[in-house]
C-alpha cells in the first residue's frame, strides 16, 4: 500500500512560485547587506543543548527541538528516570535545533574571535525551529534574516541599520515606518516614576498602548501596584507628540533628573540628526511605547511596520551590550536587526507587488517537431543560454497543441517553432504567447532582441 | 562561569571567507540551472519518520537523526520498553531530519502532483543530516545540490543534464570527465553471464576495477560463486577500449542476445550523438565499470571526476523509473544529478581557482576623521552604494593608522580619505591599498571610475 504523503504540522513545502518570490525578497535584502559591507556566515542547524538551554527563558527551553542521541540512546536510562521528563530528555538528547540566530551568533563570535576582524559586520539567513503551537502565520520552521555589527559602540551603526531598512523596503516597494526608541529612556521613565525595579511591568504595559489605549495602560499599571503618583508622572510622556526633535526636547525636560534617560535621548538625537541629513525614503519616528520585550537590549530599539497592511512588526532589533558575556567574552557591544521574511512575503503578496521580472523562470520554449528539428533547436538554445536567457526544449516529439499547452501552463512568454520549413530556409518562427503575435525571424535577430 | 563554546562534532561554522567561496559555487550552479529552465523548491528539514524509514536500507535507518516529540515525550513509555531501543525511539520520536533530497522530492512530487506541471524540472539546494562517523571530508550536516526532471522518458533530459554538468564545470574552471553508463547494459551483462540474479554482486565487483584491477575483480566474482564460464564472458567487456561509438558497436555484438542490453546501448548511442553535435567543453566517456551502487537507477548513470585532483566523484546521478511508487504515484520516470558542493569546494581550493572578484566584500572604506567629515563621507557612501558598490565608513573618529589597519585586515582594496582639506575644497583623497598609490579626486570622478 502506498504511504500517505504529509509533512510535520507547522512546516512547509515551498513550490517554485513561492520560492521565486521568497528568493526575490532574500536577494533584495542580501544585495543591500552587501552594499553596506556586511558578509555572510552560517552556523549548524544542530547546536549542543548546553549552548541553547537557559537562553530563551523557561518557555523557550520547552520550545527547543531536541535530537535523540545516535546509537543506543537509552542504554544508560534507569526505569526510575521515566518519571522525570526533563531529566530523561537531558540524558538521551545532547543536541537541539537552533531556536534563533542570535545565540548561535554569540557563540560563533566567541569561538572564532581570533579569526574575526572587529567591528564584525555579518549577516545570516537560515531557518530556525520552534516547537510552538502552529497557527496562521506562525510556523515551526521559518527563516530568520539577521544583520548585526558587533564590537563597536558607534551610533553610526544604528544609523547604518536604519539606512539598510530604508533601502530594503524602498527596493521592495513597501512603504514603512521605522519606529525608534531607546531602552535607556524607558529605564529613565521607570526611575522618574520611582519604580526602577518595575521596568518590565512598565514597558510591558506601555507596549500595549496601540492595542488597548492610554486609559487601559494606566489601569494595568495601577493594578500591578504602581502608585497613582507614579502613573500620573507617566501621563505627559505618553501624550507627547510632534516632530522627533521636538519630542526629544520636551522629554529632556521631563526626564532631566535621570542621567540614564538623558543619555538615551542624546543617542537618539544623534541618530535622528544623521538620518535627517541622509534624507531617507521611509518615515522614521520616535515611539516611546516601543519596548520589544527583549531584555537584552540596552540602547536603541527599532521596529518597522508596513504603512498599508496591518500585520505587526516586519523587522526589528536594537543595541545590546552583553550578548557574548554568557560565553565568556565580556563588554562587547553590538547592534542588529532581523527581517521577518514570512511577514514581508505576506505584505508584498497582499499588495500584489511582486515584480513580474523576478518571477520569471523559462523565458523561451522551443517546440520539438522532429529529430533534425530538435538538433537545430538545441543549437539555438545553446546560444540563447550563453547570453543568460532561461530557455528549454519540449522533450518529446508531440502534437503542437500539447507542446503549446505546456508553454501555457508554465506561463512561458515566448515560443520558438522550428519545423521543416524553418529548417529549410534557416529561419525560425517566434511567437509571443501574451499577444499571440507570431513572426518569422532568425537566430541572429532573436539573440539581438534578447540581448537588449 | 563562562560556557564552553563548541558545536556538535561533524558540523561546521562557515566564516565569511568560506561563505563567499561556497556562495560562488552555489550561485554558479544556480545560474546554470536557471538557464536550462529549472525552478527551485524547498522542503522542511524535518520529515515524518514514516516518510524516511525504510528508504535508505537498514544502515541508513540507523543514520537518521530523530527528533524527540514535544511536550512529555516519555508519558506513554513503559519501563519494559527500555530494553528495545528501536521500539522506544519510535515511541518517543515521530520526526527525523532529512537524510537526502531525493526521498523528500519524491514525497513532494506525489503530495503536490496537482500543482505541478509535468515534466517537472526542479532544483533543490539544502542541507541534509546523517549520524555518520565524522571523518575528513565527511560531515554530519552538508549541503546537497540536486537537479532533476520528473515525468518524461525523453533522453533529451539526459543530454540536458550532461550539458548542465559541462556548463557548471566550465564556468568553475574545473576540467572534468563525465563518465556515463547504463543500468540496462549492466543487467544485460549479468543476463549474458547467466547470472541475472547476481546483478548486485557483479556491479559491486566491476565498480572496483579502477581501485583493485581486473584480475582482482575476476577473483572476487569467482569467490562470490559466479561460474568460471560466466566470468570469462565478462573479460572482453571489461577490456573494451576506443571511442565511445566504437565501444558501443562492439558491445552490441557481444550482448546481442540481451534485448535489455541492446536497449541500453541504443539509449547511450542517442545521448552520445546529441552530445557530439553540441560540442561540449568537457570530456564525456562511456565507462562500463560505473555502477553507483544505487539500486533505484534504471537507465543512464552519470559520474563526474576532476581531471586534476583525485578526490572521487564530484557529481553523479542517473535515470530512475519508479522514485515515487512508494508514495503511490506509479510509472513516473525521472532523471537527475547531484552536485557534491563540499568536494567541488575542495577541488577549487586545491587548485587555487576561486576568482578574486567573487571573494570581494567591502570595496571601499571611508575613513572617519571628524563629525563634519563623516557626514560628507556618508553622503558619498550613499551615491556609491546606489551604483552597487559595497562600501562602508570606519565607525569611530580614530587615529588614521588604526583605521588603515582595519582596511588592511579586511583586505579592502580602496580607501577614501575626507579630511579638513578635502572638506574645504570639496574633493576626496583616493588610495589604492594594493599599489599604495594615492591621488586627489572628487565624487563625480570616483563614481565614474567605479561605474565602468
pLDDT digits (tens, 9 = 90+) for B218-274: 999 999 889 998 888 888 888 888 999 999 999 999 999 999 999 999 999 999 999
The helix (run of H) or strand (run of E) holding residue A190 is: helix A183-192
Give the closest of B48, B75, B406 to A8, CB-based: B48
- A374:B156 CB<8 A: yes
Residue A99 touches chain B, beta carbons under 8 Å = no
* pLDDT at A293 (0 to 100): 67
Residue A2: pLDDT band with limits 50, 70, 90: low
CA angle B209, B210, B211 (to 5 degrees): 90
Residues of A in contact with B40 (CB under 8 A): 14, 16, 19-20, 23
Q: Measuring CA to CA, how many Å separate B204 from each of B186, B190, B201, B209?
A: 11, 12, 5, 10
**Cβ neighbours of residue B19 closer than 8 Å, sequence gap 6 or more:** A39, A40, A41, A42
pLDDT higher than 80, residue A452: no
The pTM (predicted TM-score) of the whole model is 0.94
Residue A389 to residue B35, Cβ atoms within 8 A = yes
Distance between CA atoms of B215 and A449, rounded to whole angstroms?
A: 60
Q: By three-state DSSP, how is residue B228 classified?
A: helix
Q: Peptide bond preceding B41: is omega within 30 degrees of 0, i.e. cis?
A: no
**pLDDT of A55 above 80:** yes
Say yes or no: A96 contacts chain B, CB-CB below 8 A: no
Distance CA B331, CA B328 (A): 10
Give the CA count within 13 Å in the CB-facing half-sphere of A118: 13
Cis peptide before A274 (omega within 30 of 0): no
A70/B65 Cβ within 8 A: yes
In a 3-state reduction of DSSP, which class is residue B13? Answer: coil
Q: Which one, of B301, B299, B281, B280, lies nearest residue B291 by Cα?
A: B301
- Residues in chain A closer than 8 A to B156 (CB atoms): 368, 374, 378, 393, 395
Does B112 have pLDDT greater than 70? yes
How many distinct helices (H) and strands (E) make up chain B? 19, 16
Q: Most A CBs within 10 Å: which of B13, B148, B163, B171, as the mutation test of the A interface? A: B13
Distance from CA of A308 to the nearest CA of B (A): 26
pLDDT of B408 reads: 95
Q: What count of other Cβ atoms lies within 10 Å of the Cβ of residue B208?
A: 14
Q: What's the confidence (pLDDT) of residue A135? A: 85
Task: Tell me the pLDDT band of A184, cut-offs 50, 70 and 90.
Answer: very high
| Cα gap A7→A140, rounded to integer Å | 12
Which set of grid coordinates corresponds to residue A409? 501552463
pLDDT digits (tens, 9 = 90+) for A421-450: 999 999 999 999 999 999 999 999 999 999
| Nearest residue, CB atoms, B46 vs list A11, A34, A37 | A11
- Interchain CB contacts (distance < 8 Å): A and B: 288
CA-to-CA distance for B236 and B420, rounded, in angstroms?
Answer: 84
Nearest Cα to A298, choosing from A154, A146, A178, A184?
A: A184
Contact assignment for A277 to B379 by CB distance below 8 Å: yes
Residues of A in contact with B327 (CB under 8 A): 2-3, 5
C-alpha cell at A166: 530604508
Cα–Cα distance measured from residue B451 to residue A44, given in angstroms and rounded to the nearest whole number: 38
Confidence category of residue A368, pLDDT binned at 50, 70, 90: very high
Cα–Cα distance for residue pair A325/A342, rounded to 1 Å: 31
A93 pLDDT higher than 90:
yes
DSSP A22-54: HHHHHHHHHHHHHHTT-EE-B--SEEEHHHHTT
Rg (CA), chain B: 28
- B407-418 confidence digits (pLDDT tens): 999 999 999 999
Inter-chain CB proximity B277 and A379 less than 8 Å: yes
State how far the Cα of A145 lies from the Cα of A125, in Å rounded to an integer: 4
Q: Do A131 and B70 touch (CB under 8 A)?
A: yes
Residue given cell 552583553 in the structure block: A322
Q: Is the pLDDT of residue A143 over 60?
A: yes
**B331 contacts chain A (CB < 8 A):** no
Residue A239: band (very low, low, confident or very high) from pLDDT cuts 50, 70, 90: confident
Q: What is the average pLDDT value for chain B, to the nearest integer? A: 94
Q: State residue B222's pLDDT score.
A: 92
d(CA B361, CA A33): 10
Whether chain B has a CB inside 8 Å of the CB on A438: the answer is no
Whether B143 contacts B127, CB under 8 Å: yes
Would you call B37 and A156 a contact, using CB atoms and an 8 Å cutoff? no
pLDDT band, very low/low/confident/very high, at B293 (cuts 50, 70, 90):
low
Q: What is the reported pLDDT for A4?
A: 78
* Position B217 pLDDT exceeds 70: yes
pLDDT of residue A204: 85
Chain B CA closest to residue A96? B67
pLDDT at A294 over 80: no
| Least CB–CB distance from B5: residue in A3, A46, A107 | A107
Q: In what order do the strands lie in the sheet with B46-48?
A: A46-48, A93-97, A66-68, B66-68, B93-97, B46-48
Q: What is the C-alpha to C-alpha distance for residues B183 and B288, in angstroms, rounded to an integer?
A: 10
pLDDT > 90 in chain A, percent? 79
Task: Check CB contact of A39 with chain B, cutoff 8 Å.
Answer: yes
B9 touches A at CB < 8 Å: no
CB atoms under 10 Å from CB of A371, counted, come to 10
Position A233 confidence tier, pLDDT thresholds 50, 70, 90: confident
Question: By mean pLDDT, which of A264-273, B3-12, B259-268 is the weakest?
Answer: B3-12
Q: Specify the higher pLDDT residue, B428 or B361.
A: B428
Question: How far apart are the C-alpha atoms of B382 and B240, rounded to whole Å?
Answer: 65
What pLDDT, on a 0 to 100 scale, did the predictor assign at position A314? 96
Mean pLDDT confidence for B161-184: 97
Which chain B residues have a beta carbon less than 8 Å from that of A39?
16, 19-20, 361
The residues near A447 (Cβ < 8 Å, ≥ 6 apart) are A383, A384, A387
Nearest by CB to residue B392, choosing from A37, A47, A395, is A37
pLDDT-based confidence at B47, cuts 50/70/90?
Answer: very high
pLDDT confidence of residue B200: 85
- Name, of A69-83, A145-159, B196-210, the range with top average pLDDT: A145-159
Residues facing B128 on adjacent strands: B142
| Residue A273 confidence (pLDDT) above 60 | yes
Nearest to residue A396, comparing CAs of B164, B118, B263, B39? Answer: B118
pLDDT score at A435: 96
A129 strand-pairing partners: A141
DSSP code per residue over A256-276: TT-HHHHHHHHHHHHHHHHHH
Does pLDDT of B2 surpass 70? no
How far, in Å, are B16, B224, B404 from residue B385 at the CA level? 20, 67, 21
Question: What pLDDT does A137 receive?
Answer: 80
Q: Is the pLDDT of residue A10 over 70?
A: yes
Which residue is closest to A67 within chain B, CA to CA? B67
Substitution target from B6, B7, B104 for chain A, most A beta carbons within 10 A:
B7
What mean pLDDT is predicted for residues B398-403?
A: 96
| Each residue's pLDDT tens digit, B327-383 | 999 999 999 999 999 999 999 999 999 998 888 789 999 999 999 999 999 999 999
Mean pLDDT within B427-446 = 96
Do the beta carbons of residue A268 and residue A292 sit within 8 Å? Answer: no
Q: How far is B118 from chain A (nearest CA, A)?
A: 8
- CA of B284 to nearest chain A CA: how many angstroms apart? 18
Q: Do A37 and B391 touch (CB under 8 A)?
A: yes
Task: Indicate if the pLDDT at residue B296 is higher than 90.
Answer: no
What per-residue string of b and e applies to B212-231 under the rule 16 or more CB within 10 Å gives b?
eeeeebbebbeeeebeeebb
pLDDT tops 70 at residue B294: no
Cβ distance A51 to B97 less than 8 Å, yes or no, reads no
Contact (CB, 8 A) for B346 and B409: no
**In chain B, which residue's Cα lies nearest the Cα of A131?**
B70
CB count within 10 Å of CB A83 equals 9
Say if the Cβ atoms of B19 and A6 lie within 8 Å.
no
pLDDT exceeds 90 at position A235: no
B171 touches chain A (CB under 8 A): no
Average pLDDT of chain A, as a whole number: 94
Residue of B nearest to A59 (CA): B71
Continuous segment of H or E residues that includes residue A408? helix A400-409
Query: Does A402 contact B at CB distance below 8 Å?
Result: no
pLDDT at A304 over 90: yes
Q: Lowest mean pLDDT: which of A134-138, B106-110, B183-187?
A: A134-138
pLDDT in tens, A146-168: 999 999 999 999 999 999 999 99
Q: With CB atoms and an 8 Å threshold, state whether A121 touches B392.
A: yes
Q: For residue A279, what is the nearest residue in chain B, using CA coordinates?
A: B379
Query: Residue A68 and residue B72: Cβ atoms within 8 Å?
Result: no
Entry field: residues in chain B:
452
Q: What secondary structure letter does DSSP report for A14? A: B
The nearest alpha carbon in chain A to B402 belongs to: A118
Closest CA in chain B for residue A388:
B35
A82 touches chain B (CB under 8 A): yes
Helix axes A228-238, A199-207, angle to 10 degrees: 50
Q: Report the residue from A4, A85, A112 with minimal CB separation from B15.
A: A112
Out of A89, A115, A382, name the one closest to residue B15 (CB): A115
Strands A364-366, A414-417: pairing kind: parallel
Contact with chain B for residue A6, Cβ under 8 A: yes
Amino acid at each position: 500500500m502506498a504511504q500517505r504523503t504529509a509533512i510535520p504540522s507547522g512546516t512547509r513545502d515551498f513550490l517554485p512560485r513561492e520560492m521565486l518570490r521568497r528568493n526575490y525578497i532574500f536577494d533584495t535584502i542580501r544585495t543591500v547587506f552587501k552594499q553596506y559591507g556586511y558578509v555572510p556566515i552560517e552556523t549548524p542547524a544542530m547546536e549542543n543543548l548546553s549552548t541553547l538551554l537557559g537562553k530563551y527563558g523557561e518557555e523557550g527551553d520547552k520550545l527547543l527541538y531536541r535530537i535523540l542521541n545516535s546509537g543506543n540512546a537509552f542504554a544508560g536510562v534507569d526505569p526510575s528516570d521515566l518519571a522525570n521528563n526533563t531529566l530523561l530528555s537531558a540524558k538521551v538528547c545532547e543536541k537541539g535545533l537552533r531556536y534563533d540566530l542570535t545565540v548561535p551568533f554569540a557563540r560563533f563570535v566567541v569561538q572564532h574571535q581570533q579569526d574575526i576582524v572587529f567591528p564584525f559586520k555579518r549577516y545570516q539567513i537560515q531557518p530556525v525551529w520552534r516547537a510552538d503551537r502552529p497557527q496562521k502565520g506562525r510556523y515551526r520552521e521559518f527563516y530568520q534574516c539577521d544583520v548585526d555589527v558587533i564590537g563597536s559602540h558607534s551610533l553610526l551603526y544604528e544609523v547604518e541599520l536604519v539606512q539598510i531598512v530604508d533601502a530594503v523596503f524602498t527596493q521592495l516597494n513597501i512603504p514603512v515606518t521605522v519606529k525608534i526608541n531607546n531602552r535607556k529612556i524607558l529605564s529613565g521613565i521607570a526611575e522618574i516614576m520611582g519604580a526602577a525595579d518595575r521596568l518590565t511591568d512598565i514597558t510591558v504595559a506601555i507596549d500595549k498602548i496601540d492595542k488597548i489605549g492610554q486609559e487601559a495602560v494606566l489601569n494595568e499599571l495601577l493594578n500591578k501596584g504602581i502608585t497613582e503618583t507614579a502613573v500620573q508622572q507617566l501621563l505627559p510622556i505618553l501624550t507627547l507628540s510632534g516632530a522627533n526633535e521636538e519630542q526629544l526636547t520636551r522629554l529632556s525636560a521631563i526626564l532631566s533628573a535621570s542621567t540614564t534617560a538623558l543619555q538615551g535621548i542624546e543617542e537618539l538625537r544623534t541618530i535622528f540628526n544623521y538620518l535627517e541629513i541622509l534624507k531617507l525614503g521611509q518615515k522614521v519616528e520616535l515611539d516611546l511605547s516601543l519596548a520589544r520585550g527583549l531584555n537584552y537590549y540596552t540602547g536603541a530599539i527599532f521596529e518597522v511596520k508596513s504603512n498599508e497592511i496591518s500585520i505587526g512588526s516586519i523587522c526589528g532589533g536594537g543595541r545590546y551590550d552583553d550578548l557574548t558575556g554568557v560565553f565568556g567574552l565580556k563588554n562587547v557591544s553590538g547592534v542588529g536587526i532581523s527581517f521577518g521574511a514570512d511577514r514581508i512575503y505576506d505584505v508584498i503578496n497582499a499588495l500584489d507587488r511582486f515584480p513580474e521580472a523576478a518571477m520569471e523562470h523559462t523565458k523561451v520554449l522551443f517546440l520539438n517537431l522532429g529529430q533534425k528539428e530538435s538538433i537545430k533547436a538545441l543549437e539555438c538554445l545553446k546560444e540563447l543560454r550563453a547570453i543568460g536567457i532561461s530557455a528549454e526544449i519540449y522533450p518529446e516529439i508531440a502534437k503542437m497543441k500539447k507542446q503549446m499547452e505546456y508553454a501555457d501552463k508554465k506561463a512561458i512568454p515566448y515560443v520558438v517553432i522550428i519545423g521543416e520549413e524553418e529548417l529549410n530556409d534557416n529561419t525560425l518562427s517566434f511567437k509571443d504567447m501574451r499577444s499571440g503575435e507570431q513572426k518569422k525571424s532568425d537566430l541572429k535577430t532573436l539573440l539581438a532582441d534578447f540581448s537588449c
